[in-house]
Amino acid sequence: MEETKKDPPQFFKVTIDNITVEVAPGTSILNAARSIGGDVAPPAMCYYSKLEGSGGKCRTCLVEVAAGSTADPRPMPKLVASCRTNVMDGMIVKNITSEKVIDARKHIVEFLLLNHPLDCPICDQAGECSLQDLSYGHGDIGTRYEFQRRLFEREDIGPYIQLHMTRCILCYRCTYVADQLTDKRVHGILDRGEHAEISTYISKAIDNDFSGNMIDVCPVGALTDRTFRFKNRVWFLKPLDAHRDCDKCCGKVTLWNRGEEVYRVTSRKDKWGEVESYDGKPGWICNTCRFEKKKTSDWIIEGPRKISRQSVISAGHYVGVKKPNEIFSAVHDGRKPRLLMDIHKVSEINEPHIELSRIEGPATGAVFNNGSNQQAE
């Protein structure tokens, strides 16, 4: 008798945290979970759907596979990276319903924070940092790490970007941006293990038109915008959707204003923190739009950007607040605040030889201004 061949199913049924969805074969568990949304979607620090090859580095997206498929319902022996594991028909996955996953995630946060400085109060990424959110959601109150943290000098990567290697979690997203969006990559991850670091070869500047997108994909504050650094906290700014006719990019951006002043320009991000797509293409923006169009009159304003209610940016209720009159200079002999408080000039908090964790009690001016700037013993 002639065997009849069965057509492969067009959709796979997968159950994640007791919710069943149908997705196309070849979909990762992470993307299937994202189609359900909310807490069912595992956190992702290195995966970025618009960057080919990303994922598989940070392990924050680990999930438990309780049944592999209808054909082979055995559980997978270890937790798997959901960004790198595709669904099978009949697969049963546990994310927030798995104690193993919750426990593993806690340890992964601890691991990611081993070398990460706790400098959220002065970090420009505060308020929109994936690692900050992850630590609040899953972190422990302390660390068991007893060794010296890695210390690095800050490095300028071209005229617009500064790298704080101490904050980098080696997710590789910025190197994928450089590889896939710019015509030549001049930076990468050098060395391995404890010594791995992002660097440019002989500190070459990255001056490509799309290099600024590295700032947007960095999940932490390791790559920051030099035109915005230390100028304002994101929750004091009012995000507005705006566009302009640009011959290099889509020209669709978010302006971060205070009053009429544009403090920074970023791409528009979706609910997963990724750049939004237009006509099926990611809305990466060029450096001209990002760094050179800093006047409201350069843009056609579409309206206020919707920000998630959970975000500190909207929780602070500062959106819509007008810029107050500047009284600082009036009471300080006409001096402008930035002349009084350039953080680089007044604080050596990131100097490699000052190890904050070894100072007893809070670090004060005395630690940094004792003439010799020696490390506290």
Binders of ligand FES among 71-90, rule CB under 6 A? Answer: 81, 83
Q: Which of 50, 59, 290, 293 binds ligand FES (CB under 6 A)?
A: 59
Beta-bridged to residue 189, according to DSSP, are 198
From the list ligand SF4, ligand FES, none, pick the one residue 198 interacts with, judged by a Cβ distance below 5 to 8 Å according to partner type. ligand SF4
Q: How far is the CB of 360 from ligand FES (least distance, A)?
A: 37
Q: Toward ligand SF4, which CB reaches closer, 174 or 206? A: 174
Alpha-carbon distances, residue 157 vs 96, 164, 180, 212, 220 (angstroms):
39, 10, 18, 10, 16
Q: Of the ranges 55-63, 114-122, 149-157, 173-181, which one interacts with ligand FES (CB under 6 A)?
A: 55-63
Which pair of tokens denotes residue 202? 């002989």
First-last CA distance in the chain: 85
If one counts every other C-beta atom within 10 angstroms of the C-beta of residue 9, the result is 12
From the list ligand FES, ligand SF4, none, pick the one residue 81 interacts with, judged by a Cβ distance below 5 to 8 Å according to partner type. ligand FES
Q: How far is the CB of 2 from ligand SF4 (least distance, A)?
A: 55
Beta strands in 70-116 (DSSP E): 80-81, 91-94
Amino acid at 263: Y
Helix, strand or coil, per DSSP, at residue 264? strand
From the list ligand SF4, ligand FES, none, pick the one residue 44 interacts with, judged by a Cβ distance below 5 to 8 Å according to partner type. ligand FES
Q: Are 150 and 112 in contact (CB under 8 A)?
A: no
Q: How far is the CB of 108 from ligand FES (least distance, A)?
A: 9
Dmax (CA) of the chain: 98
Cβ contacts of 318 within 8 Å, gap of 6 or more: 235, 236, 237, 238
Q: Is 45 an interacting residue with respect to ligand FES (CB under 6 A)?
A: yes
Here's the x/- map for ligand FES, 171-210, by CB under 6 A: it reads as ----------------------------------------
Q: How far is the CB of 62 from ligand SF4 (least distance, A)?
A: 18
Here's the x/- map for ligand FES, 216-255, by CB under 6 A: it reads as ----------------------------------------
Q: Toward ligand SF4, which CB reaches closer, 95 or 132? A: 132
Q: Is 47 an interacting residue with respect to ligand FES (CB under 6 A)?
A: yes
Q: Is 134 an interacting residue with respect to ligand FES (CB under 6 A)?
A: no
Go through the chain and tell me how many residues it has.
377
Q: How far is the CB of 83 from ligand FES (least distance, A)?
A: 3
Q: How far is the CB of 56 from ligand FES (least distance, A)?
A: 5
Contacting residues toward ligand SF4, per CB under 6 A = 168-174, 198, 217-220, 222-223
Alpha helices in the chain (DSSP H): 29-36, 99-112, 130-138, 173-181, 213-217, 287, 312-315, 328-331, 337-340, 343-346, 365-368
Q: Containing H/E element for 156?
A: strand 155-157
Q: Are 209 and 181 in contact (CB under 8 A)?
A: no
Q: How far is the CB of 57 from ligand FES (least distance, A)?
A: 5
Contacting positions for ligand FES (CB under 6 A): 44-47, 55-61, 81, 83
